[in-house]
Amino acid sequence: MNQNEKVLRALASRKRMDIVRLVLDRPLTVTDIAEKIKLSHKAASRHILVLAHADLLDRERVGVYSYYRVSSDLPKLARSILPHIT
């Protein structure tokens, strides 16, 4: 699967688009994300994994917490799509 296919598949889910919207403003933990979009921790983690594999999210570890934010090295297709889903 090429990078464009990964990006499109990752953003095909409304919940994953919601996650991207949330972390555009500031980094959040899985728990924060799960609470805000009303998902279980496990479901939020799975969605985050899909987004990370598509290079849409970066993870920063701070102590025992992992914070997720929009990737600093977004694929070209994602850079063109993200302004339209916010």
Q: With bands split at pLDDT 50, 70 and 90, how would you rate the model's confidence at 86?
A: low
User: What value does the mean pLDDT of the chain take?
Assistant: 91
Number of domains into which the chain is organized: 1
Whether residue 83 lies inside any domain: the answer is: no
Whether residue 43 lies inside any domain: the answer is: yes
- The predicted-structure confidence for 15-67, as pLDDT tens digits, reads as follows 999 999 999 889 999 999 999 999 999 999 999 999 999 999 999 999 999 99
Nearest to 57 by CA among 27, 12, 80, 18: 27
- The predicted-structure confidence for 40-53, as pLDDT tens digits, reads as follows 999 999 999 999 99
Q: Can you give the CATH number for the domain in which 67 is found?
A: 1.10.10.10
- pTM of the predicted model, to two decimals? 0.88
Whether residue 35 lies inside any domain: the answer is: yes
Q: With bands split at pLDDT 50, 70 and 90, how would you rate the model's confidence at 76?
A: confident
| Residue carrying structure tokens 């570890």 | 61
CA triple 62-68-70, angle to 5 deg = 135
Find out whether 69 and 85 touch, Cβ atoms under 8 Å: no
